[in-house]
């Protein structure tokens, strides 16, 4: 298989021990780590990170990226404490053995993203300065409601900060009424990896390939290797905290979070 799979295993179970079991049973070797044992990855201590690393190493699983919430605060929120917390998380990322930090480009007042571009870029520069000269790579995810929710604004970020790579999420672009093929043509030179999440016309999230997210097209064009499965097919612990002013529409009813996760993984494997 040309691709290697990563996943947000917290969508299947919040407990690390179970996340490990589920990843192994699905043949997935990477974890995009977000919620573990009741804590967001931004809140865990270095001691907890060492415990996590030990358990993952014992089971042959590596952390692909820190699925952090950095940059997902309102522009009217104070930035300095947020930046300080970001800097502390770099120690956690190092312990976990990953160099990639998934992040966002802040939440402007509704309909006023362009008017607040200067402040967004100033804050992103703070993140860039914090990792300058290190091994860490900032990976910006497009998401509805943040500054970088359209391809054109994402492009401005990458042109201003070429060191910031892109996490391309088709469903999130659909939620922002962004044409997927157009977005790919604009952003493909900057894409580090993909979040595999699909949706239909009304925004309802569905398994990969069953929506209009053009996932087969993107996989054919993608020159990288790693795909992170982000199911969003069922309710899971922490979902409400991930959504910047929107609610995910769920298209299918699954008997459990594990079943929804397995369905998402299998749908992607079928496309591959």
pLDDT tens for the chain, 272 residues long, are: 689 999 999 999 999 999 999 999 999 999 999 999 999 999 999 999 999 999 999 999 999 999 999 999 999 999 999 999 999 999 999 999 999 999 999 999 999 999 999 999 999 999 999 999 999 999 999 999 999 999 999 999 999 999 999 999 999 999 999 999 999 999 999 999 999 999 999 999 999 999 999 999 999 999 999 999 999 997 555 455 555 555 566 567 799 999 999 999 999 999 99
The domain tally of the chain equals: 1
State the pTM of this model.
0.93
Strands 137-141 and 100-103: parallel
- Helix locations, the chain, DSSP H: 16-25, 46-58, 80-96, 117-131, 151-160, 170-175, 180-187, 215-221, 239-242, 257-271
Reference 140, options 118, 152, 124; nearest CA is 124
Using the 8-state DSSP alphabet, how is residue 211 labeled? S
**Model pLDDT, residue 252:** 72
Query: By residue range, what is the domain housing residue 56?
Result: 4-271
Enumerate residues 6+ apart whose C-beta is below 8 A from 60: 24, 29
Cα-to-chain-centroid distance, residue 191: 13
pLDDT at residue 105 in the model: 98
CATH of residue 226's domain is 3.20.20.150
């Amino acid at each position: 298989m040309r691709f290697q799979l990563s996943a947000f295993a917290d969508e299947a179970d919040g407990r690390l021990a179970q996340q490990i079991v589920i990843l192994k049973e699905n043949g997935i070797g990477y974890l995009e780590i977000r919620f573990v044992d009741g804590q967001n990855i931004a809140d865990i201590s270095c001691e907890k990170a060492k415990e996590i690393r030990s358990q993952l190493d014992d089971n042959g699983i590596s952390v692909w990226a820190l699925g952090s919430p950095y940059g997902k605060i309102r522009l009217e929120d104070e930035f300095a404490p947020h930046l300080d917390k970001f800097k502390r998380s770099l120690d956690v990322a190092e312990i976990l053995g990953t160099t990639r930090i998934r992040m966002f480009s802040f939440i402007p007042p509704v309909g006023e993203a362009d008017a607040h571009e200067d402040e967004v870029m100033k804050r992103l520069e703070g993140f860039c300065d914090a990792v300058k000269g290190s091994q860490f790579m900032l990976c910006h995810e497009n998401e509805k409601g943040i500054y970088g929710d359209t391809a054109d604004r994402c492009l401005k970020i990458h042109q201003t900060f070429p060191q910031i790579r892109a996490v391309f999420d088709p469903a999130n672009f659909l939620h922002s009424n962004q044409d997927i093929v157009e977005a790919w043509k604009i952003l493909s030179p900057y894409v580090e990896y993909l979040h595999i999440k699909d949706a239909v016309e009304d925004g309802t999230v569905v398994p990969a390939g069953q929506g209009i997210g053009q996932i087969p097209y993107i996989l054919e064009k993608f020159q990288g290797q790693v795909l992170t499965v982000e199911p969003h097919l069922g309710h899971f612990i922490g979902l409400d905290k991930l959504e910047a002013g929107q609610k995910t529409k769920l298209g299918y009813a699954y008997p459990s979070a594990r079943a929804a996760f397995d369905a998402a993984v299998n749908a992607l494997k079928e496309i591959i």
